[in-house]
Amino acid sequence: MKKIYRDKILNISDTDIFDNTFVFEYFSEKKISSEVKVIYLRDILEKKKNSEILEKVKYKPAMWSEVYSPKDELEIFTGLFENALKNNTKIHIVWVTLGEEIQMLEEYYESLWFLREDINAFDVDFSVPLVTASCHIENLMWRGSDYKAQREKIFFCPPVRESWQNKALFKGITRGVLAGVEISPDSWESGLVEGFLSECITWEKIMPLHMGKVLKYNLEDIGFRGEIWELQIKY
């Protein structure tokens, strides 16, 4: 078994070194210091719900994405982003879903000199930026093409977006721009999360060190504290 640390992977003593298991730590519950305001896009976007589209969703489930439109989400995110920089306020935005949001974060972090050209990725000290962000596990697990089969099972807010938006979230993790992945207790209880994370590791969609960072270490740098649980993932 191998333990995932902030910047290294070590064999756990008294375990089989050939056992294909990674051991991660993650926050089961967490709190944030008073210096950082946590903002859930869901709470704001819910007020922008387009109920007129709901009738069409019965026949075209993929239209659920427009019930909480990308345009409205981007407008909200941009406003939060610009106000934070203007007022020198630290915020952490939870539940981003859009490639445009990832691009804004990349440009901001590049202006703070966190881009490393040798690896073409970002090495962000997340205690520094005024704006940080997390996505939700469901927006990684599902994409627009899944609406036809899953229908109401994936009618989330913010919604599951198109495939290219889903890929942008993975890019945000692998490029070191997304600080965290939000996983609710209900998501863990569904039984799907561990299988999905195992698939991400096996197929190298997310490297182990990146996963360790978005589950715990980046969030610690932002100022989150709380109960730490252990997660074992076979690969």
**What is the rounded average pLDDT of the residues 210-217?**
98
Which token pair is 55? Answer: 């009738």
For the stretch 156-208, pLDDT in tens is 999 999 999 999 999 999 999 999 999 988 888 888 999 999 999 999 999 99
Break the chain into its structural domains and give their ranges. 25-190+207-227
Give the residue from 59, 96, 31 showing the smallest Cα distance to 228. Answer: 31
Give the residue from 176, 162, 170 showing the smallest Cα distance to 135. Answer: 170
Which residue type occupies 29?
E
pLDDT of residue 14: 85
pLDDT of residue 18: 82
pLDDT of residue 188: 87
pLDDT of residue 34: 86
The CATH homologous superfamily to which domain 25-190+207-227 belongs is: Metal-dependent hydrolases (3.20.20.140)
144: confidence class by pLDDT, cuts 50, 70, 90: very high
Which token pair is 81? Answer: 């982003």
Phi, psi at residue 100, to the nearest 5°? -65, -35
pLDDT of residue 19: 86
212: confidence class by pLDDT, cuts 50, 70, 90: very high
For the stretch 99-129, pLDDT in tens is 999 999 999 999 999 999 999 999 999 999 9
For the stretch 8-29, pLDDT in tens is 999 998 888 888 899 999 998 8
pLDDT of residue 232: 94
- 51: exposed, middle or buried (Cβ count in 10 Å: 0-12, 13-18, 19+): exposed
* Overall size of the chain counted in residues: 235
What b/e readout covers 73-110, taking b as 16+ CB neighbours within 10 angstroms? bbebbeebbeebeeeeebbbbbbbbbbbbbebbbebbe
For the stretch 57-116, pLDDT in tens is 999 999 999 999 999 999 999 999 999 999 999 999 999 999 999 999 999 999 999 999
